[in-house]
Amino acid sequence: MKSSARRSFGQHPIKSYKEIEFLALFKTLWPYLLIHKTRVVIAMLCLVGAIAVSTALPWALKWLVDDLDSNVGKALVIPLGFVLLYGGMRFASVFLGELRDSVFSRVTESAMRKVGLEVFNHLHKLELDFHLSRQTGGISRDIDRGTNGINFMMRFMVFNILPTIVQLAIIIVILLLAFNIWFSLITFICVVSYIVFSVITTEWRTGFVKEANRLDSQSNTRAIDSLLNYETVKYFNNEAYEAEQYNVNLQAWEQARVNNRLSLALLNSGQALIIGIGLTAMMYLAAKGVVDGSMTLGDLVMVNAYLLQLFVPLGALGFIYREIRRAMSDIENMFDLLKRQPGVEDLPQAKALEVHQAGIEFANVDFAYQPERPILKNLSFNVAPGNKVAIVGPSGSGKSTIGRLLFRFYDVQSGSISIDQQAINQVQQLSLRQQIGVVPQDTVLFNDTIWNNIAYGRPEATDEEIWQAIEMAHLRAFVSSLPEGVETIVGERGLKVSGGEKQRIAIARVILKNPPILLFDEATSALDSAAERSILQALAEIAKQRTTLVIAHRLSTIVDADNILVIEQGELVEQGTHEALLAANGQYAHLWHMQQQKD
């Protein structure tokens, strides 16, 4: 019997996103256009010139054909002037279009870069809770498709839809003035029918496009999650299971794309039918006019040229509208990320935190991730400047939550947290986090060199300062033993180095940051005894003259703490030095004796 347990990847109903209106989107993109005003003006002038030349081309062709027709009896007489004029106009039309695209490309690429950067910065502003529950692969696809959608919208709305509409109006007026009303009427009816059919059918198809996009993000998320957990997959011999689950996602995506393709075939066929009927009717009228003498051969050629000039871009307009709807669907997903408000924000009048002594105070703090499950309850304690305070307690008691609140990944529900009598929710988050150095239990490194991972603590640091941090973290012997030394790539998430070396790199990074407050979140709990002793020595050295908060699992690592806080179910049950707590024979003494028996 198969287990019902499955990892869920987007198995939620499709979100009912509010459609982004064209005007709202235009207002959003307009500031990006204004950044390059000169380029936009030049591109628009090229656009106007290209429209004027392309509209005049059928007239030039008419003159050429009529001149040839009138001189057909004169051997080897070719109206060279008209030929050169027609060729020059054809070249000018293409050249102006290419020049327009070249000039405007800087505008679109700049907008893509700025919007992408804005989304990236916004994601870093969102609270930890969002990042703990996010699906990285899906978000990556949303950003990628969204920026490409913006590029499409800016280029094709300005340079395809607008010119086609202008040309349509000009051609209808020309046909009305040059010939009888039927030419203009048939053109108008065909265009309206084409647009109405395209809009209705494309709106129907949008559901298929959204479903295909959702399943694309879902399958991508599944693949990335599986590859990031490569070792776990291997540990449990679940390669076949992962492939099966990935295939299920791909099959759903495949079916959505097939549905999308079938609906596209219906749309293309309907558009071709409307264009075919219009062309047939117009050419019949033109041919009939030539036969009865009301039109010249050049008139027939001109009508045909105008029809091709109109219906070819109109056919492209159908494609463009379909792609605009798809792009709108892509953009709205990305814009939804921008609309999400950070759960932790600076107050408008927030000032930079000024740390002089680095004293920490938790006063009557209540906190819960979910209202129905309180984590910390009326918690109060002080960390004197320069002191080392340890927090211990059973799993789930709220120890790590204290560190997250101090770093202001979350805001407390009630009570306050202060550093040097400054409430941390009243100061700028950036200034707060600049004053705190964290060595977490699970250090995750960038897929970069050891040197760059350490330099990340303070990118502007000198080489000498980085080498000093390496020395203080006892990393010199390790990097010297490596063939590539500090230029060794640590691998994705630092998987190419051991746990002890990862912790040393993390310590060197914090040393380089040189903050007045240190937070060690069970920094040695996953290490063996030898590695732990080495790491503890490094931690002790960097903790001198700094206020230090240690969240500990192994009590043997914090016996030298100035004060030990014992937390149980979110409440402070006792505190004191190691000796005082042992003498009290309370919860701490019980934990100590249990760990001593295990050792």
Range of weakest confidence among 244-253, 440-449, 491-500, 581-590 = 491-500
Mean pLDDT, all residues of the chain: 79
Q: Comparing C-alpha atoms, which of 201, 214, 144, 208 is closest to residue 321? A: 201
| pLDDT tens column, 80-111 | 666 677 677 778 877 887 887 778 777 777 77
Q: What pLDDT does residue 144 have?
A: 75
Query: Is the distance from CB of 57 to CB of 312 less than 8 angstroms?
Result: no
Q: What pLDDT does residue 384 have?
A: 93
Range of weakest confidence among 103-117, 396-410, 451-465 = 103-117
| pLDDT tens column, 485-531 | 889 888 765 667 777 788 888 888 888 988 999 998 876 655 556 66
| pLDDT tens column, 267-321 | 888 888 888 888 888 888 888 887 887 777 777 778 777 777 777 666 666 667 7
The two three-digit tokens of residue 406, written as one number: 């101090």
Q: Under DSSP, is residue 77 helix (H, G, I), strand (E, B) or coil?
A: coil
Q: What pLDDT does residue 10 have?
A: 38
Does residue 8 carry a pLDDT above 60? no
Mean pLDDT of 391-403: 88
Q: What pLDDT does residue 428 have?
A: 92
Q: What pLDDT does residue 81 have?
A: 63
Query: Is the distance from CB of 220 to CB of 141 less than 8 angstroms?
Result: yes
Within its chain, how far is the Cα of 321 from the centroid? 25
| H helix runs in 80-238, sequence order | 80-125, 128-133, 136-156, 162-178, 181-228, 230-235
Query: Is the distance from CB of 364 to CB of 415 less than 8 angstroms?
Result: yes
The two three-digit tokens of residue 315, written as one number: 């056919």
**All domains in the chain, ordered by first residue:** 110-339 (1.20.1560.10), 345-435+553-599 (3.40.50.300)
Query: Is the distance from CB of 363 to CB of 416 less than 8 angstroms?
Result: yes
**Distances 517 to 55, 427, 596 between C-alpha atoms, Å:** 72, 16, 31
Spell 358-391 as b/e; 16+ CB within 10 A means b. bbbbbbebebbeeeeebbbeebebebebbbbbbb
256 against 565, higher pLDDT = 565
Query: Is the distance from CB of 335 to CB of 142 less than 8 angstroms?
Result: no
Mean pLDDT of 339-362: 88
Q: Which residues contact 219 (CB under 8 A, 6 or more apart)?
A: 246, 249, 250, 252, 253
Query: Is the distance from CB of 475 to CB of 505 less than 8 angstroms?
Result: yes
| pLDDT tens column, 307-337 | 777 776 666 666 677 677 777 777 777 777 7
What is the distance between the alpha carbons of residues 433 and 331, in angstroms, rounded to a whole number?
33
